[in-house]
Amino acid sequence: MKYKKNSIKILFMVILILVIGFSVNFADTNYKIKYICEGSDFETPVYIISSKIETPVVMIMSGTHGNEPAGIAAVKKMKDNINIQKGTLIFIPNANIIACEKEMRSYPEGINLNRVYPGKKDGNDVEKIAYEIFNLMKSFHVDFLFDLHESREFYKINPQNYGQTIVLDCYDDDFLKICSGIQERLNRDISNEQEKFEILIKPIEGCATYAASCQLGIPSFTFETCRKLPFPSRVAIQETLIKMVLEHVGLME
């Protein structure tokens, strides 16, 4: 009987410690939701997780193209299951929310969100999305941005497609070293050559990372997995990338 009482007491203490631990984590972290394009058909949630030390600020986007689901799934999962030690983390899971709902590359068709940055306040619906995201970057003084994408083919098979690449819009020696370290870690456990990641420096005017890099001086890259890989594998790769970047900039240990 005494043994049983001691066991119950120990179990209670363990539960109490866990509860206190989780309470401290949530007390030290502020989680809020704001909206871009509020009141329109394109009203889109933005999830902001901030610690007591508000910098650095990292923005992670997905859903620029609605038919590229792995990044969207990774961001949606991680926004609800992540603790940060410092800094501010901004998640935009569905940058073009209607394209994501319809599983279309672009909506309306023919207007590519990733070609209209920095957008226009009084432009068409897609230009307004870009304008509001661009202004989020400015208002939060974003220190680092990456945009999650997918491609239908491996870059090493057809360089017209960007599957398995890290794409930079401008050359910066220090930032290139950071991306090279990420590339090396990603490739460490990949045996198939065509599935290994390449770093490309290919400026694409009008895309989110180009506007961030060239107009705001924010270190940015586009990350592309290949849709020929199984969906769970692609989601896992996207999650791994997010964790690597957050570890590198110090938001996570």
User: Locate tokens 């394009």: which residue?
Assistant: 37
**pLDDT by residue (tens digit) across 120-144?**
999 999 999 999 999 999 999 999 9
* Arithmetic mean of pLDDT, 160-169: 97
- Is pLDDT of 5 > 90? no
Q: The whole model's pTM is what? A: 0.87
Query: Can you point out the beta strands (E) in the chain?
Result: 29-36, 44-51, 57-61, 88-92, 144-151, 165-168, 198-201, 220-226
> Is the pLDDT at 9 greater than 70, yes or no?
no
Residue pair 107/99 in contact (Cβ under 8 Å)? The answer is: yes
For 171, how many CA atoms within 13 A lie in the half-sphere containing its CB?
A: 1
Cβ–Cβ under 8 Å, residues 161 and 153: yes
Tell me the three state secondary structure of residue 145.
strand
> How would you classify residue 201: left for phi > 0, otherwise alpha for psi between -120 and 50, otherwise beta?
beta
**Contact between 147 and 223 (Cβ < 8 Å):** yes
Give me the residue spans of the domains in the chain: 30-249
Q: Is 46 exposed, middle or buried (0-12, 13-18, 19+ CB in 10 A)?
A: buried
- Tell me the C-alpha to C-alpha distance, in Å, between residue 112 and each of 91, 95, 147: 20, 12, 15
Structure confidence at residue 171 as a pLDDT band (50, 70, 90): confident
pLDDT > 70: what percent of the chain? 89
**Confidence bin at 83 (pLDDT 50/70/90):** confident
d(CA 226, CA 224): 7
Q: Tokens 């939701």, residue?
A: 33
CA atoms within 13 A on the CB side of 96: 31
For residues 42 and 40, give the distance between their C-alpha atoms in angstroms, rounded to a whole number: 5
Q: What is the pLDDT of residues 66-76, one digit of tens each?
A: 999 999 999 99
Q: What is the pLDDT of residues 210-248, one digit of tens each?
A: 999 999 999 999 999 999 999 999 999 999 999 999 999
Structure-model confidence comparison of residues 49 and 83, the more confident one: 49
Rounded to whole angstroms, the maximal C-alpha distance in the chain is 75
Average pLDDT, the chain: 90
User: From residue 129, how far is each of 41, 45, 148 by CA, in Å?
Assistant: 11, 12, 17
In eight-state DSSP terms, residue 132 is: H
Q: Which CATH architecture has domain 30-249?
A: 3-Layer(aba) Sandwich (3.40)
